[in-house]
Chains A and B, each alone.
Chain A
Amino acid sequence: MRTVLFASLRTYARRYAAAVVAVVAAVALIVVTNALTSATKSGLFAGIDAPFRNAVGAVDLPTEEVTQKYTEKGGWALAASMQPVRTDKAMLGQEVMVGAVSTEKRWQWQELEAGRFPTRAGESVVDANAAKTNKVAIGDTLRVGTGESAVETTVVGLVDAPSMWSSPVYVTWPEMQGWKNPYVQAVLTAGTGDEADKWLNTDDYLTELQTQLNKEVNVVAYMVLIFAFIALFVSVLVITNTFSILFAQRMRDFALLRAMGATKRQVLRSVRREALALGLLASVLGLVVGAVLGWGIVAIVRQLAETAPLGEVALEWPWLLSAFVLGTLTTLVASWLPTRRLMRLSPLAALRPQEGFDVRGAGMFRLGLGVLGTLAGIGIIFVAVGWDDAQTGMLIVLVGCGITFLGVMLLGPALVPGLVRLAGAGLARVAGSPAKLAAANAGRNPKRTAATAASLLVGVTLTTGVLTGMNTIRAATLDEMAEQHPIDIALQAESEPLADSVVGDAKAVPGVADAVAVPGALASVEAEGKPVPVPVVAPPAGDIALRDLTVKPGTMVLSPVAASAFVEDSFEASGEKVTLTVGDRTATVTLDVREIDGAAQISAATLRELTTDPQTYAVWVRADAGADPEDLAGTLGVLAPDAELINGKAQRAWVELQLDVFTWAVIGLLAISVLIALAGIANTLGLSVLERGREHALLRALGLTKRQLRRTLAAEAVLLSAVAAVVGTALGVFFAWGGSEILIGDMLPDARFDPPVLQLIGVVVVAGVAGLVSCVVPSKRATKVSPAEGLALD
């Protein structure tokens, strides 16, 4: 049988193309994931110990008190804060990470490239790379921070730092402490510390830190692996289908072998070895492709972004081995069912005409199970939607989605050809007999048609599900952002009012649609016997903000941070009454604490009670839709250097960007599965073309032109992919509905289920076009055969 095995592999190698592509893609995805994570880890870990060189130990994420305690004893805080940074010429950024640099030699862990380290407050160092890109030089003055806590600092040195701890700018620690909430990753201690503070010695601390980072990187890696598993699942479908078709075409060969005296076992062993050889080959190829891609991607990223924390790629054996084993196993598992069918083969089959094989539709049992699964799954989703506990509900919805999907896959052999016929009848009106022939072709082998469609169904369902779900979450999140940050850009005065000219200047800035001066006063509230200054503003009516911000008389709306200046528990302070004082006038207001930007807000009436002479305490700006919020903030900030600049538009844009990046990353990873499925469609079509050589010759003899033949194949591919896309979209939207229903009401109270119609139509159209592309090669091959040649085929 060895001769048969090798001859088969040689003869049919090309027909396995889709199976190989599927396995290679899935295996390569795993290897690329490993390449990226290993590069990320080595990038992160390189120089991770630099700040700790002179530390005896450290406390991770210390409280303010613990930080204070150890810094007073000669320790050092590894701190950073996001702050706007600008030179006298330009804005470097609205949210720049600013680190801390020590004036003491032993904590100066950064590597000095030029100049010197700071010796006092008011001096700073800048990362050499950041200095180059932002054109900052030694001797320049930077303004870091916003409002009255902003610091002026002179650049005295350029430094380099390991990526884990690097920031573009470093100021001294005392200056940093003036900012609202600097983030302290660790406090390094000069001597031994207390167990009670969770103090660790340096070695233990670094080990712990690396373990933690490892875990975080691995979590991302495992999320990407989910997509590798989806790709593997689609591969199973594609490979099963490929084997089914190939074996159907080779039934006659197998039967002939049996007739000549080969035992069932021999035939079976031969084809299983074929599958094994294929799996091994494709997996090795996948490893190679993955390694090359991984190295390539890392090299390109490092080339494009010098600061990206990517180190050397170091592929790990467990990953490579698992990828290899998974690829091979997938192939073997996928070939199992089709090869089992060979067991039923009788030698007599060699004498029967070809069309007798494997054209049966699905049995009643399968269809019954499919109907049951679909209905049960849908039922489960409806039950879960009403569940009280969102987490359990979500889990039940997921189970329901899985069962529904399996049910639909089982129904495939009845559902898909039926829908193709329906769509074909419609298409026949415009495309004539090619569409009719195509629809008939799709119905001739229901199982094959269904399996081909199923592979695409997986990707389309997941893609449309993610698109729809994310659209709902996105709308709700953006609504919430608009609620919290309704003002595009605000200049908020702190103790001194803004100059009268600011609002006029702001209006003149290009990109500003409108600007208003918001009247206010510097009030005070009594707390623990002392007056606490509280700037208040009275929001004007009108459409300067995304919603009407006017406050009910007698109420004061303020953020928890602002409230914490004079109440005990700022989150529970809503409803409390406080008395505002300006000069000798007072007003009592009820607190309404919620996440808002800027100063406390009162009504115009309350402001009139407090002062007869309100002054401009804020300027609110509405930006043109297309204006760049960072640029705008840079220009506006210069108008009132002492005011706090609140950039709501940038914050909204940032969240929107995050949502988009997440969505498209997921879609991009799912695209791998969709591409595998399309390779499967091309392969099925290609194999069908080989199988139907004689039929096509007959049609050509009867007067089907080449173009009509091409159209027939194109119609078949488009009908199949469009039906899969439509069914997948229906499922995806339904599943997303189930998921959103649970989130709505619990986690996203104000959300509304909102399918992105245009994007969904886009998915169906892309699938149809991709189907069209997938039939290019097969139809070229089909039309190359002249009718006379085709008639000689059997």
Chain B
Amino acid sequence: MTQTSVPTMTAAARAVGLTKTYGKGATEVHALRGVDLEIRRGAFTAIMGPSGSGKSTLMHCLAGLDRPTSGEVMVAGQPLQNLDDDQLTVFRRENVGFVFQAFNLLPMLTAGQNIQLPLELAGKRVTDETRARAQMIADTLGIGKRLGHKPSELSGGQQQRVAIARALVTQPAILFADEPTGNLDSETSAEVLDHLRRSVRELGQTVVMVTHEASAAAYADEVVTVKDGHIEGVTR
């Protein structure tokens, strides 16, 4: 079921006829069975569904982390199926940001170094401008004073906010978050979700968040419900 009212031009990401099958024969699992979906630009989209329904798989395919068995994915106007591994990697580096449920940060780097990491990987020089931008984002997220600490010295909520800061620093076309609050208590969850929502409102960031908590989905502009590898419905 496609959101026809949204013109294609404004879609940040689009999937057509997406299927994903794991394994072969007796152990075959159909994680996605033909998904058509558009993610609206500048919106906060939540993907919901029961455990094992294929949410993470869908997100991985949309983000170019994994290749679908069949179907097409277009992100920021770029069809992903034609890209080889290196091109895909560079595409992710330039256009996609990630926040995962846990183990988001590299343990041997400080929070500040973790935030700068995507710029480093791209081989970009760390200029005053980028440093100021990183500091601004960190300040906005309330972690400006903790940038010199290693991840193991930060609380779970702080770690997630460092991850969000890192995802925002490259100004990606789209930010994916897979259960970013899965490990957090409700109060800290609320803070983190609030930050994600503010980045949509204030920075015009496109955010796609996978969650199975209705309370988290309440922060979103749109809610896509997945069940058994299908899109069951989209609510605005």
Query: Which residues of A come within 8 Å of B, CB atoms?
Result: 353, 355-356, 432-433, 436-437, 440-441, 443-444, 694-695, 698-708, 786-789, 791, 794
Chain A to chain B contacts (Cβ below 8 Å), 26 pairs: A353-B152, A433-B120, A437-B106, A440-B108, A443-B108, A695-B103, A698-B98, A698-B100, A698-B104, A701-B98, A702-B92, A702-B93, A702-B118, A702-B121, A702-B166, A703-B90, A703-B118, A705-B86, A705-B89, A706-B89, A708-B121, A786-B65, A788-B60, A788-B66, A789-B66, A791-B100
Q: Is the CB of B86 within 8 A of A707?
A: yes
Q: CA separation between A436 and B108, bound complex, in Å?
A: 11
What 1/0 flags go to B53-97 for Cβ under 8 Å of A? Answer: 000000010010110000000000000000001100110111000
Q: CA separation between A441 and B152, bound complex, in Å?
A: 15
User: Residues of A contacting B29 with CB < 8 Å?
Assistant: none
Q: Is the CB of B66 within 8 A of A702?
A: no
Asked if B136 lies at the interface with its beta carbon under 8 angstroms from chain A, I say: no
Asked if B1 lies at the interface with its beta carbon under 8 angstroms from chain A, I say: no
Q: Is the CB of A701 within 8 A of B65?
A: yes
B 95-138 contacts with A by CB, 8 A: 98, 100, 103-104, 106-109, 117-118, 120-123
User: Residues of A contacting B120 with CB < 8 Å?
Assistant: 432-433, 436
10 interchain residue pairs of minimum CB distance: A703-B93, A788-B66, A444-B108, A788-B60, A440-B108, A433-B120, A705-B89, A788-B65, A787-B65, A355-B107
Interface size class on chain B is 20 to 34
Contacts A433-B120, A702-B118, A705-B86 aside, 8 further interface pairs with beta carbons under 8 A come to A432-B120, A437-B106, A694-B103, A695-B106, A700-B89, A702-B121, A706-B86, A786-B66
User: Residues of B contacting A700 with CB < 8 Å?
Assistant: 89
Q: Is the CB of A705 within 8 A of B100?
A: no
Distance between A460 CB and nearest chain B CB, rounded to angstroms:
27
Distance between A593 CB and nearest chain B CB, rounded to angstroms:
72
Chain A residue with the shortest CB-CB distance to B110: A440
Inter-chain CB contacts under 8 Å: number: 73
Q: CA separation between A443 and B109, bound complex, in Å?
A: 10
User: Residues of A contacting B152 with CB < 8 Å?
Assistant: 353, 355-356
Q: Is the CB of B107 within 8 A of A444?
A: yes
Distance between B107 CB and nearest chain A CB, rounded to angstroms:
5
Q: Is the CB of A706 within 8 A of B109?
A: no
Distance between A437 CB and nearest chain B CB, rounded to angstroms:
8
User: Residues of A contacting B93 with CB < 8 Å?
Assistant: 702-703
Q: Find B109's partner among A440, A707, A786, A788 (CB 8 Å cutoff).
A: A440
Q: Is the CB of B107 within 8 A of A702?
A: no
Among the interface residues A432, A433, A694, A707, which one has the most CB atoms of the partner chain B within 10 A? A433
User: Residues of A contacting B90 with CB < 8 Å?
Assistant: 703, 705
Q: Say whether chain A's binding surface is mostly helix, strand, loop, or mixed.
A: helix
Q: CA separation between A431 and B89, bound complex, in Å?
A: 19
User: Residues of A contacting B92 with CB < 8 Å?
Assistant: 701-703
Q: Is the CB of A698 within 8 A of B89?
A: no
Chain A residue with the shortest CB-CB distance to B85: A706
User: Residues of A contacting B60 with CB < 8 Å?
Assistant: 788, 791
Q: CA separation between A791 and B104, bound complex, in Å?
A: 10
User: Residues of A contacting B100 with CB < 8 Å?
Assistant: 698, 791
Chain A residue with the shortest CB-CB distance to B57: A788
Q: CA separation between A252 and B165, bound complex, in Å?
A: 31
Q: Is the CB of B98 within 8 A of A702?
A: yes
Distance between B167 CB and nearest chain A CB, rounded to angstroms:
9
Chain A residue with the shortest CB-CB distance to B67: A786
Chain B residue with the shortest CB-CB distance to A356: B152
Q: CA separation between A467 and B141, bound complex, in Å?
A: 60
Q: CA separation between A705 and B122, bound complex, in Å?
A: 10
User: Residues of B contacting A791 with CB < 8 Å?
Assistant: 60, 65, 100
User: Residues of A contacting B63 with CB < 8 Å?
Assistant: 701
Chain B residue with the shortest CB-CB distance to A704: B121
Chain A residue with the shortest CB-CB distance to B120: A433
Chain B residue with the shortest CB-CB distance to A439: B108
Distance between B14 CB and nearest chain A CB, rounded to angstroms:
20
User: Residues of A contacting B117 with CB < 8 Å?
Assistant: 433, 702
Q: Is the CB of A432 within 8 A of B123?
A: yes
Q: Is the CB of A441 within 8 A of B65?
A: no
Q: CA separation between A765 and B106, bound complex, in Å?
A: 31
Distance between A784 CB and nearest chain B CB, rounded to angstroms:
11
Chain A residue with the shortest CB-CB distance to B122: A703
User: Residues of A contacting B107 with CB < 8 Å?
Assistant: 355, 444, 695
User: Residues of A contacting B166 with CB < 8 Å?
Assistant: 702
With contacts A436-B120, A703-B122, A704-B121 taken as known, whether A698 is within 8 angstroms of B66 at the C-beta atoms is no
User: Residues of A contacting B86 with CB < 8 Å?
Assistant: 705-707
Q: Find B121's partner among A356, A433, A786 (CB 8 Å cutoff).
A: A433
